[in-house]
Amino acid sequence: MSFIEEIKQRAKQEMKTIILPEAEDIRVLKATEKVMKEKYANIILIGNEENILQKAKTNEINIEGAEIVDPQKSENYNTYVNLLYELRKHKGMTIEKAKELVLDPVYYGMLMVKDNKADGLVSGAAHSTSDTLRPALQILKTLPDTKLVSAFFVMVVPDCEYGENGVFIFGDSGLNENPNPEQLSEIAISSSKSFKQLVGKEAKVAMLSYSTYGSAHSELTEKVIEATKLVKEKQKDILVDGELQLDAAIIPEIAKSKAPNSPLKGEANVLIFPNLDAGNIGYKLVQRLAKAEAYGPLCQGIAKPVNDLSRGCNSDDIAGVVAITAVQAQEV
């Protein structure tokens, strides 16, 4: 059974309700049809009901069973205006501004999650990452003891002997541009937890660089070395090593020559990139050249599950991220 099929089966064991606020996007409607057919999550679509139903009908998409909520007609509109005002008044929020924002499907969806009317939210097919995460952080806040919100991709590489049978987590590949050693260590710790949660196996974390064990020296390599030390100090039970070049991290034969004493032994399944340039380029290279499935950017550190999408996603990608979000919601 593939990674995503296992996730769907887990989602079915404890059905959760996931919000899709970009309900007038054809890809989102097709994803809704897939989810409702396979019955692994309940779906709430947010937007103009007449437009949503017309688009579904015109494109012969069956969204029967999904709930549709129109913020303009919702009986909870005034309640959510007041809720948003109370949450943000210390930051200068006014009632007038709250009235405007609550009409935005993403803001309305976040308020529904905050109000426990839903368990998670997936957006980003038609919104930028900032337009998805800004309301998430304003309304849902971060998990207790979380120092940094970060983003990762679950990469499923076909016919691959590396990682966990071709399954990897790449972090941070979607959010933090140039993390310092402290931030990089937090990304590594969060990503190891996400791997355990979603894949169910021990995380083997490689802190990636263009250098292996001092084969090169610069500020860039020192950052990764320092971040590795911090991970080991903070979480002694995490299997982590660095700084490592990619081949030394994931190929046992090369690890034997380049890093013979590495506890990872060339079997890393969580790859931590030194910056967003490397992480974003890396995931897209693997996705396009190796024809890998790329689920994300998935968020870690927010109080309730909120996940972003690449604007280049298709309906299968969205349906997969809905399943992942539902599984994440089982542990909140």
Regarding whether 88 and 8 lie in a shared domain, the answer is yes
Reduced 3-state DSSP string for 122-166: ECCCCCCHHHHHHHHHHHCCECCCCCCCEEEEEEECCCCCCCECC
Q: Which domain holds residue 236?
A: 150-289
pLDDT at 71: 95
Residue 1's pLDDT band, with cuts at 50, 70 and 90, is confident
Regarding whether 10 and 137 lie in a shared domain, the answer is yes
Return d(Cα 41, Cα 35) in angstroms, integer: 7
Regarding whether 53 and 73 lie in a shared domain, the answer is yes
Regarding whether 194 and 94 lie in a shared domain, the answer is no
Average pLDDT along the chain: 94
Regarding whether 201 and 132 lie in a shared domain, the answer is no
> Is residue 297 helix, strand or coil?
strand
- 332, pLDDT greater than 80: no
Residue 148 tokens read as 């940094």
Return d(Cα 124, Cα 106) in angstroms, integer: 10
Regarding whether 169 and 130 lie in a shared domain, the answer is no
Regarding whether 88 and 209 lie in a shared domain, the answer is no
pTM of the model: 0.90
Question: Per-residue pLDDT tens for 94-137?
Answer: 999 999 999 999 999 999 999 999 999 999 888 887 888 899 99
Report which DSSP code applies to 70.
-
pLDDT at 144: 86
Return d(Cα 71, Cα 76) in angstroms, integer: 8
Regarding whether 242 and 124 lie in a shared domain, the answer is no
CATH of residue 112's domain is 3.40.50.10950
Q: Is residue 302 part of a domain?
A: no
Q: How many domains does the chain have?
A: 2
For residue 42, give the nearest of 70, 71, 74, 67 by alpha carbon. 67
Residue 149 tokens read as 């919100």
- 326, pLDDT greater than 90: yes
Cross-strand pairs, 150 = 300
Question: Per-residue pLDDT tens for 239-292?
Answer: 999 899 999 999 999 999 999 999 999 999 999 999 999 999 999 999 999 999
Return d(Cα 172, Cα 149) in angstroms, integer: 10
Query: Can you give the C-alpha Rg of the chain in angstroms?
Result: 21
The sheet with strand 306-307 has its strands ordered as 67-69, 42-46, 17-20, 120-122, 306-307, 293-300, 150-156, 167-171, 270-272, 204-208, 239-244
Regarding whether 123 and 21 lie in a shared domain, the answer is yes
Return d(Cα 320, Cα 190) in angstroms, integer: 21
